[in-house]
Amino acid sequence: MQLTMPGPTAKELDLLSQVSTMLTSFDRDRVLKNVIDFLMRSFDVEQASLLMLSGVGEADGWQLFSLRPRFQTAILRMPMSEEALQQAHRIVNDGLARWVIQQKQGTIIEDTHTDARWLEIPDIPSGVRSVLCVPFVLDDQVIGVFTLQHPEAAHFSELDLQIMTIVANQVSVAMRNAELFTQMQAQQKQLEEVLRAMPDVLFVLDADGKLLMINESGVELLGGRDEFALLGKNVRDLQKDDSALSLVVEIIDSPLQSGQRWSFEAHSDQHKRDFVVNVSVWEQEPGGKAGYVIVMRDITQMRDLNRFKDEMLQMASHDLRSPLALIVGYCSLMQMDVDPDSKIAEYLGIVQQQTERMTGLLDDLLRVEKIRTSPLELYERVDFQDVVNSALNSIRASVDAKQQRLSADLRLDHAPTILLSPPLIREAMANLLSNAVKYTPEKGRIKVTAYMADQRVYFVVEDTGIGIPPENLPRLFTSFYRVRQPGSEDVEGRGLGLSLVKTIVERHTGEVWAESTMGVGSRFGFWLPL
């Protein structure tokens, strides 16, 4: 005859129901307090113990709590004494908890006098005869062991063990949820503090344009009003406080599409400030209701610096050219009245040479600035090979003067016309070719390659020059940067040629690069999109 275990009674089902209700809190200590108090009353015990890991993954960090009715939550926050830590260590290694941790399942001791798994601690009189012990398991790791103790033998049944196992599993999940909730709250608070402290203006809006979040810079922009008074207001009503929000309102009033982004400049008439505004769309969940994130960066100071730079360049253009021209002119006149072989003639030649060098530097600066601000309307569709041939023709005299060999491999027969500014691209090519001629010794070789690949056209110049040290390559295209090395002492230059090439190529949404090997030569090139 097969014996079957009786099912749970209404009282036991009510116990599970009440325990489930207690596990809705996200406070770990409160969960343990409520559940342990309730279980001790339900199973009619006056004594229990709780072993807990002080941290996940800390195998030796066990803490032992001896529990009585009206268990106080604060006990789990109190520092453990050295004696309690030693007792916990003994129980985990030699007591019933060792078996429960190894097997990862609960058990019953009918009589502690006859079960070797029970460890009596001499310093702690217990009077315990029967025990029910269950583990708290998370991610296949035991993080706690809860033990109910009773002074009478055979007090607990197998049904009690089943119910306690169910409760322990629920408590484990609740503890994990409480831990995750605490971490999430800490991370959310940290993120909010970072966003509030950022110098850029930040607004978070819902799909209707109502303000959900604002940082300190945003509050300042809107007149320094109370933050909580602003939350919930519609950005349409707030634009009267600052005109920079008018374009944001236009975006919100347009049809909303997920993943959209906008970037534009706006001016605040109220604060006399300029902003770069970035607007992006966010979703609460895939397919859910969307909203907007607006970040406004103050570029007023940058604008002022740009205006100052423009004024300085204008001054250089108009106010420096005249005195420089006078210096060159007077040097030429004075040279006519002195002996060509005298020291005075030599000094005048140096002054004239350096003045002309300064004039050339001024011309280069103005040319770079002109390229950076040149309108795209000057671009036209041209045959790329014609531009390459024009640049090659402009450099042939310099190549012949140093008896160098110039070869060209142009694979552009079937290349389509490309939209660009012919004078600018020709100047970029001429700068790369000129550098190759200057840094390649007499009778050296220079090779030009132009081809089409991956919807791009490429222009590459290779030489057999002195080469460039690897540590200098990253700074080659920086304005006024020149590589100082043996063999380049007599090469004239102002360090703006490669910077000019980079500016021109990037103006055409292309990319420039450089490769070099000391004593072997260099390879410079760029590509432009078709």
> What are the extents of the domains in the chain?
10-183, 198-298, 303-373, 376-529
pLDDT of residue 75: 46
pLDDT of residue 330: 83
Contacts for 208 with CB less than 8 Å, ≥ 6 apart: 234
DSSP state of 415: P
pLDDT of residue 56: 45
Taking the C-alpha atoms of residue 464 and residue 443, their distance in angstroms, rounded to an integer, is 10
Fold of 10-183: Beta-Lactamase (3.30.450)
Half-sphere exposure of 327 (CA within 13 A, CB side): 17
CATH number corresponding to 198-298: 3.30.450.20
pTM across the whole model: 0.45
In sequence order, the β-bridge partners of residue 203 are 214, 294
In sequence order, the β-bridge partners of residue 283 are 290
Among residues 419, 425, 509, the alpha carbon closest in space to that of 459 is found at: 425
For Cα atoms 268, 273, 274, give the angle at the middle one, nearest 5 degrees: 85
Contacts for 18 with CB less than 8 Å, ≥ 6 apart: 38
Long-range contacts at 257-260 (CB < 8 A, ≥ 24 apart): 257/281, 258/283, 258/290
Taking the C-alpha atoms of residue 365 and residue 496, their distance in angstroms, rounded to an integer, is 8
Among residues 223, 226, 219, the alpha carbon closest in space to that of 196 is found at: 219
Neighbours of 413 (CB within 10 A): 7
Contacts for 484 with CB less than 8 Å, ≥ 6 apart: none
Same topology between domain 198-298 and domain 376-529? no
Q: Which H or E run contains 433?
A: helix 422-439
Strands 107-109 and 62-67: unpaired
Strands 521-529 and 456-463: antiparallel
pLDDT of residue 74: 41
pLDDT of residue 272: 82
- Judge: domain 376-529, CATH 3.40.109.10: no
Taking the C-alpha atoms of residue 242 and residue 223, their distance in angstroms, rounded to an integer, is 9
| Tokens at 350, concatenated | 């140096």
What residue spans of 337-409 are helical by DSSP H? 343-373, 384-401
pLDDT of residue 226: 74
DSSP state of 256: P
* CA-to-CA separations, 311 to 301, 325, 368, in angstroms, rounded: 15, 21, 15
What does residue 510 show for φ and ψ, rounded to 5 degrees?
-110, -165
Residues of the chain with pLDDT under 50: 1-3, 56-59, 70-75, 77-78, 377
